[in-house]
């Protein structure tokens, strides 16, 4: 498919995702405030925080309007802003790009927190007070710390450098006719692309490689927590049902909620996390993954 066509498709898809995300987030917030019962106070706090996060994520995604190009030699990729409405300036755009990356990893922590709450509400109801008052600060930190850590890694190791700009320009000019010179971007290269007194061409770039390994650990941790909590919740419900301590109607309600959360986990895993994982794995192993970058920016914009 011609590159201008890809650009138009990703641009239109970004607008579509932004409008749907704004509508869905506002609708969820109104339902939380108007329809949910008072006894769900702790969970309401969590959902309020999630709504704020989702709103920020979709606004950042809309402002950045990212466009990704995979390096033709397979050692990395670069994504830059393709905002056609206004120019926010180099510094602001780069900060937004970093925030975009941070919001991406925070989505996994929010997802696992949903499973944690479902597990506690089903198996350890006396712990629910931790989702209120001072305990709410811990809940916020659980989501904020991965956001901050990954954002700092992106800013420190994946940002523009003269060396990377010259290298990635080969790909962006060849594929997109886009010049990265004096443009903000996020461009991880897992292997050094030139020889200097400090490293040789082709040596592992441990700043980038270590950042990706850390990102992978975050994702495995959060999905591991989600899986464990989901299994424990299911086993507890089955145990209570067999002991006749859980009515069939309540059991059905609990299982419906659990199935809904499982779908919340599987859907972003397939459409949001796997495409970036393929690009990152390709960069770490030096394998060219073609035009997958176009699908990555479109799939991530679906999350909010």
- The domains of the chain, with CATH numbers, are 3-300 (1.20.1070.10)
Per-residue pLDDT band for 119 (boundaries 50, 70, 90) equals confident
Of the listed ranges 67-76, 159-168, 285-294, the one predicted with least confidence: 285-294
What is the per-residue pLDDT across 275-296, written as a single tens digit (0 to 9) for each?
Answer: 888 888 888 888 887 777 767 7
* pLDDT for position 251: 65
SS3 189: strand
- d(C-alpha 74, C-alpha 284), whole Å: 9
pTM for this one?
0.85
Whether pLDDT at 147 is above 90: yes
Nearest one of 299, 302, 304, 297 to 66, comparing CA atoms: 297
Nearest to 191 by CA among 177, 205, 181, 178: 205
Antiparallel, parallel or unpaired: β 77-81 and 185-186: antiparallel
Spatial CB neighbours of 94, under 8 Å, sequence gap ≥ 6: 159, 160, 184, 185
Question: Rounded mean pLDDT of the chain?
Answer: 81
State how far the Cα of 135 lies from the Cα of 139, in Å rounded to an integer: 7
Beta carbons of 283 and 74 less than 8 angstroms apart: yes
């Amino acid at each position: 498919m011609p590159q201008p066509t890809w650009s138009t498709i990703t641009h239109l898809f970004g607008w579509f995702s932004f409008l749907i995300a704004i509508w869905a987030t506002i609708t969820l917030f109104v339902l939380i405030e108007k329809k949910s019962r008072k006894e769900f106070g702790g969970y309401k706090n969590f959902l309020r925080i999630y709504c704020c996060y989702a709103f920020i994520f979709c606004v950042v995604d809309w402002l950045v309007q990212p466009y990704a190009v995979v390096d033709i030699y397979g050692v990395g990729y670069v994504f830059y802003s393709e905002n056609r409405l206004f120019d926010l300036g180099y510094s602001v755009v780069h900060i937004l790009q970093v925030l975009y990356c941070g919001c991406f990893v925070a989505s996994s922590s929010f997802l696992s927190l949903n499973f944690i709450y479902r597990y506690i509400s089903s198996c350890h109801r006396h712990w629910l007070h931790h989702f209120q008052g001072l305990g709410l600060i811990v809940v916020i930190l659980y989501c904020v710390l991965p956001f901050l850590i990954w954002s700092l890694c992106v800013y420190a190791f994946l940002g523009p450098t003269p060396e990377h700009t010259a290298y990635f320009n080969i790909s962006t000019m060849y594929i997109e006719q886009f010049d990265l010179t004096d443009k903000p971007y996020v461009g991880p290269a897992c292997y050094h692309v030139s020889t200097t007194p400090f490293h040789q061409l082709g040596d592992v770039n441990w700043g980038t490689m270590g950042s990706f390994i850390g990102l992978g650990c975050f994702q495995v941790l959060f999905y591991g927590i989600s899986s464990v909590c989901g299994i424990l919740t299911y086993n507890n419900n089955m145990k209570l049902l067999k002991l006749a301590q859980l009515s069939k109607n309540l059991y059905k309600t609990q299982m419906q909620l659990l199935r809904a959360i499982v779908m919340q986990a599987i859907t972003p895993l397939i459409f949001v996390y796997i495409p970036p994982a393929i690009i990152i794995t390709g960069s770490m192993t030096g394998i060219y993954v073609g035009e997958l970058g176009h699908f990555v920016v479109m799939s991530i914009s679906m999350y909010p």
